[in-house]
Structure 1
Amino acid sequence: MPIGRLEHANLSVTDPERSAALLKDLLGWKERWRGESMMGGRSVHVGEAHDYIALYTGDHVKGEYAKGNPLNHVAFTVDDLDAAEKVVAFHGLKPFGHDDYEPGRRFYFFDWDGIEFEVVSYE
């Protein structure tokens, strides 16, 4: 049976530079690539050597997404949940939904476009 892992997710956002700065600060990621998109618009890719988030924008991207339409949230693990929460607040976003259940502690936040993120620590 093949073994796989998530290679990337491509999210449409209104300001890829702003979103990239958040993810780099929150997760310690680096910018992997930026440039014009093959289908118009532009992208910034942030992540690690084998996985990343592609942050895409174009003239048609307006943001204001509704939760669950079609994406419920994107989740990340961190080694220091309290420090991660401070980063989210520093970027002007509001953490909510703090909880502690298996497999770890967590909180959620919406970005500027209405995309929901979950941040979890297994520590």
Structure 2
Amino acid sequence: MEQVIINLLLNARDALVGKENGRIGVSADMEEDPEDNVPVIAVRVTDNGQGIPQNIINQIFNPFFTTKEKTRGTGLGLSVSLGIAQTHGGKIKVSSEVGSGSVFTLLIPL
């Protein structure tokens, strides 16, 4: 799970490149997964970066998908992170708005 959180933080950092007053937030809460009705730890990584366009948001967990320059990323971080989360019975949710930023939520069942 450490690798997942590091990957989410690195992506948040990259979303802030060139932005003045960029912010990254991290929080962890116990709550209930609304889809599965089971208790989870929800770790949220938020940023006020560029956001993810809706026309590509469903592709971001695909292996080798990246919007970064070729020298800045392999497109494996989110794919690997999702695989790790799923191996432990968890999942990663994302919400994003172009120009406002993104929220990635790692849900880990208790």
Per the normalisation by structure 1, the TM-score is: 0.30
Structure with bigger gyration radius? 1
Per the normalisation by structure 2, the TM-score is: 0.32
More helix by share: 2
**Which structure would you say has the larger RCO, counting Cα contacts within 8 Å and 6 or more residues apart?**
2
